[in-house]
Amino acid sequence: MRTQVAIIGGGPSGLLLSQLLHIRGIDSVVLERKTRDYVLGRIRAGVLERGLVSLMEEAGVADRMHREGLRHDGTLIAHGGDMFRVDFARTTGHSVMVYGQTEVTRDLYDAREAAGGQIVYNVEDVVIEGADTDTPFVSYTADGKSHRLACDFVAGCDGFHGVSRKTIPQDLRQEFEKVYPFGWLGILSETPPVNHELIYANSERGFALCSMRNANLSRYYIQCAMTDRVENWSDDAFWDELKRRLPQAAVAELQTGPSIEKSIAPLRSFVCEPMQWGRLFLCGDAAHIVPPTGAKGLNTAASDVHYLYNGLRQFYEEGDRSGIDRYSERALARVWKAERFSWWFSSLMHRYRDQSEFDLRMQRAELDFLASDAAAQAAMAINYVGLDY
């Protein structure tokens, strides 16, 4: 079998790249390790930057997002029992869209299948060969048979544990990592959100976040120790702890109920340089991970897709190699800015075991400054709604 672009990974970044290439008449085959139902069963955040919204529109898969998604023009920051609002629309002229990653993925699957796009599920034993030549190919096993997929380019959208990053020789890549000393305990509940916008809370007991999936499905998080276990938290214990971390104005509006999903997510930052080797390109978690504070994970993957899609489009339509040759440089420039924002926002909102009284006063001063300074709020809003590509 042959295609122009072999895409390893059938998550949102791989599917978005495949759909965008299809719109321009560029062939691709998506290889996915799991089934469609398994991928759609993953619970992920869903705050979409303006750039990702535009890419969904360009890909022709934005109708349901605009119909069912929730446009947010700002967010609330709580600390010391008070709350203040950062107004995205007023300071930047832009907003974000709250629309679950599962729904993004579902829309992309539907679009690829409607277009007759080739997606191979239950793929195993994937090996990328010849990436540093002009004739790369991917070998894999599916349905108990060995297959070879010849291609012009390979897009590695297969996550942190996939084969793509590891295909780049170890002596040619440099990896940077920060592991945070806490996690997020999160629950999903069939309850209306406590507020129509997200609430990020810094409290003496640790961080908390009030989010949502839709008008009747809420997602809440509290900072917890990495050694903690989900089994240690009953629903009542979670709700009680969440209330202790929120201002009374938010607690008064909070509606509780049984959880339908509960999990603990670690927080870490990771970047691999470079993001390409020959004709192999890394996208999303295959190349970088951000802590969930500020919801940059999916959005940073989308920016990778933007640079790679446009580079491939220029190559096939104009014979111009500059986009693919500079892919890593351009993608990493934006990745590190997203990493900086996620690091800053995480440092601002969480409590650390080794914080001194001086550190706590600095954190409080930073929050007070953000609450009172228009320029500081504008800087946060610019990063939150998404930097230019």
> If you average pLDDT over every residue of the chain, what do you get?
96
List the domain boundaries for the chain.
5-70+97-177+268-345, 180-267+351-385
Residues with a known catalytic role: 72, 200, 292, 296, 384
* Residue 45 pLDDT > 90: no
Q: What is the mean pLDDT of residues 79-105?
A: 95
Across 158-162, 210-214, 382-386, least confident range: 210-214
Amino acid 99: pLDDT: 95
SS3 string, the chain, reads CECCEEEECCCHHHHHHHHHHHHCCCCEEEECCCCHHHHHCCCCCCEECHHHHHHHHHCCCCHHHHHHCEEECEEEEEECCEEEEEEHHHHHCCCEEECCHHHHHHHHHHHHHHCCCEEECCCEEEEEECCCCCCCEEEEEECCEEEEEECCEEEECCCCCCCHHHHCCHHHCEEEEEEEEEEEEEEEECCCCCCCCCEEEECCCCCEEEEEEECCEEEEEEEECCCCCHHHCCHHHHHHHHHHHCCHHHHCCCCCCCEEEEEEEEEEEEEEECCEECCEEECHHHCEECCCCCCCHHHHHHHHHHHHHHHHHHHHHHCCCHHHHCHHHHHHHHHHHHHHHHHHHHHHHCCCCCCCHHHHHHHHHHHHHHHHCHHHHHHHHHHHHCCCC
Cis peptide bond upstream of 274, omega within 30: yes
Q: What is the pLDDT of residues 297-350, one digit of tens each?
A: 999 999 999 999 999 999 999 999 999 999 999 999 999 999 999 999 999 999
306-313 contacts, C-beta under 8 A, 24 or more apart: 306/51, 306/55, 306/389, 307/331, 307/334, 307/389, 308/17, 308/155, 308/281, 308/283, 309/17, 309/20, 309/21, 312/5, 312/21, 312/26, 312/153, 313/21, 313/24, 313/26
Percent over 90 (pLDDT), the chain:
95
Is it the case that residue 386 has pLDDT exceeding 80?
yes
Q: Is the pLDDT of residue 34 over 80?
A: yes
pLDDT tens-digit series, residues 161-184: 999 999 999 999 999 999 999 999
From 40-54, 139-153, 202-216, the region with the lowest mean pLDDT: 40-54
Confirm if 180 and 291 have CB atoms less than 8 A apart.
yes
User: Which pair of structure tokens corresponds to residue 186?
Assistant: 């999160």
Per CATH, the number for 180-267+351-385 is: 3.30.9.10
Q: What is the pLDDT of residue 280?
A: 98
The pLDDT score that the predictor gives to residue 43 is: 67
The residue count for the chain: 389
**Region 5-70+97-177+268-345: CATH code:** 3.50.50.60
Residues 76 and 198 sit within 8 Å (Cβ to Cβ): yes
Long-range contacts of 60-65 (CB under 8 A, 24+ apart): 60/19, 60/23, 60/111, 61/19, 61/107, 61/108, 61/110, 61/111, 64/103, 64/107, 65/97, 65/99, 65/103, 65/104, 65/107
Q: Output the pLDDT for position 12.
A: 96
What pLDDT does 15 receive?
98
- Average pLDDT on 64-72 reads 96
pLDDT for 46: 86
Look at residue 214 in the predicted model and tell me its pLDDT: 87
